[in-house]
Amino acid sequence: MSRGSFVFTSMALRSLELDKDMLERHKYKAQIATHHFSSFMLKKEALDSTQRRSTITRRPAVCQDVVIHNALYTGDVEALKRFFPRGSMANLVIEPQGGEMRWVAQGRGLWSLTYEQELTTPLHITAGRGFADCLSLLLHRGANVDLAPGGHTALHEACESCQPECAKLLLIHGANANAVSEDGLMPLHVCTSPESLGCAKYLLQYGATINSCTLDEDDAPLHVAARNGLQDHVELYLRHGASVDNKNNEGLTPLNAACAHPQEMKDFGRYLKVCQMLLDAGADVRTKDQDRHTPLHMACKNANADVVDLLLAKGACVNIMNYGGEAPMHNILKVVCFKVSHHPERIVRALLNNGSIRFWPGALPMVLKHCSESPHTIEVLLNAYSHLKVTDTWVESVPEDAYKEHKDFFESIFSLAMTPRSLQHLARCKLRSFMEGRVHKVVPKLDLPTFIKDYLLLECRGYVH
């Protein structure tokens, strides 16, 4: 047994076999990527075919020279001119020194600790860091523009790092705008931030396929842009003919993807604009993924009230059930305790005004328990019932801290154990029942004072009566 190695137990050997299977699957995926790459290969007519063939046939040299590495990583163009004078060839593969340590299988149950190193090229290094002058020098010295020793091209690197000038240089010199990485991604698929818009424009200008899909997830560029809330990218892709209702492997359209992606409050505006553009382009508001989740289900789960209002205005159905038997109302009530600052009562009110189903009254104590941090949500929900059977279970369901913080509100609920609902409330329930799911359309048109309209639409008052 050599130093730095050890013998595994039988359990560990089983783990090693599983790891071997994973490596084989990875190799198979790389073979598919290579096939996909060749099927999408687009050649530039302006490129001298003779020069291209001579470049490809030259086998790149492996460079371990630290001085050259430093010049590349620091963007020292003068040093690179000395290392690669006119007439020299800059077609190199960089083998970095050092790296992260990992255990590598050596066979017969032996593993050894070695450095994990990802091969790269001078083009990758300079393109990813935005060193356009260095990149131009290397390209004019014959560097292979599509070389991908680490599994992705320099164009992928430039787009992922949001370096539009470097991406343009690579494309001008014949980089394949549809090159497929080892992970099955094309350059458009790695444009995932607002700063990558310039790269996306150049890619489309130089022949990138607008509806090309990733190998693993079957995501089109529009899926990627919508999922990341990139409104400018979405607008760009739609102008170039992106299919608005393409589904990926999970059955998600771009609209589903936008509504399903976890969102911070600061990003709500971006996702609202993305959804608006997709719907204006003809996206199906009632489309379902493989679990029968609609965009409305997902928008409720993210507690994005503006998107919920938009989807309802475009005809989303409030009572479609997913495979778990849950309607959008279930999704919002499950996240109320985590999304209090998102004003979940707005969503509950909108759903009820559009005819959403209500909970079985026997489940209301559970709602009190899980929504106790948002009294407004509880108020809106309880005001959709004409009668409530308040018992000791209701009192016991409210956490002590929440009761102390909102004592007056919860006391107004508990007092109904001895008192019927007010006549005013019963009249509201009767009118709402008469209008059924048309409350949101009919009430604003009534010739009534604003405060009565708000009352009919379940605006919050801070108590239940």
Amino acid (1-letter code) at residue 150: G
| Residues whose CB is less than 8 angstroms from the CB of residue 258 and which lie 6 or more positions away in sequence, other chains included | 226, 227, 229, 271, 274, 275, 278, 295
Q: What is the rounded distance in angstroms from the CA atom of residue 85 to the CA atom of residue 93? A: 18
Residues 59 and 173 in one domain: yes
* Same domain? 340 vs 378: no
Residues 330 and 374 in one domain: no
First to last CA, the chain: 80
Residues 314 and 407 in one domain: no
User: Given phi > 0 = left and psi -120 to 50 = alpha, else beta, which region is 121?
Assistant: beta
Compute φ and ψ for 390, nearest 5 degrees: -80, 130
Q: Are residues 180 and 247 in the same domain?
A: no
- Of 283, 318, 350, the position where a domain reaches its end is 350
pLDDT of residue 277: 98
Q: How many domains does the chain have?
A: 3
The pLDDT of residue 51: 43
pLDDT value of residue 419? 87
The SS3 assignment for 20 reads helix
What is the domain-level CATH number for residue 11?
A: 1.25.40.20
To which H or E segment does residue 26 belong? helix 10-39
Task: Look up residue 151 and give its two tokens.
Answer: 């599994």
Could you tell me if 250 and 289 are in contact, meaning their C-beta atoms sit under 8 angstroms apart?
yes
| Structure-token pair, residue 263 | 């969102």
Residue 316's SS3 state is coil
- Residues, the chain, total? 465
Element (H, E) at 169: helix 164-172
For 64-75, b/e burial (b = at least 16 CB within 10 A) is eeeebbebbeeb
Shared domain for 397 and 253, answered yes or no, is: no
- Both 32 and 154 in a single domain? yes
**How far, in Å, CA of 376 to CA of 460, rounded?**
6
Alpha helices in 84-163 (DSSP H): 122-129, 132-140, 154-160
272 in the same domain as 180: no
Reported pTM: 0.81
Residues 227 and 340 in one domain: yes
Is there a single domain that holds both residue 98 and residue 36?
yes
The reported pLDDT for the residue numbered 220 is 97
Q: Which pLDDT score, from 0 to 100, does residue 411 have?
A: 94
* pLDDT for position 69: 87
The residue segments making up the domain with residue 31 are 1-208
pLDDT 10s digit of each residue in the chain, 465 long? 444 444 545 555 555 566 666 656 555 555 554 444 444 443 333 334 334 434 444 577 788 788 888 899 899 999 999 988 887 778 888 876 555 555 555 555 566 655 556 789 999 999 999 999 999 999 999 999 999 998 999 999 999 999 999 999 999 999 999 999 999 999 999 999 999 999 999 999 999 999 999 999 999 999 999 999 999 999 999 999 999 999 999 999 999 999 999 999 999 999 999 999 999 999 999 999 999 999 999 999 999 999 999 999 999 999 999 999 999 999 999 999 999 999 999 999 999 999 999 888 889 999 999 999 999 999 999 999 999 999 999 999 999 999 999 999 999 999 999 888 999 999 999 999 999 889 999 999 999 999 999 999 999 999 998
Q: What is the H or E stretch that residue 102 is in?
A: strand 100-107
Residues 421 and 331 in one domain: no
Asked which of 304, 321, 350 is the last residue of a domain, the reply is 350
Residue where a domain terminates, one of 282, 315, 350 = 350
pLDDT of residue 115: 52
**Shared domain check, 224 and 190:** no
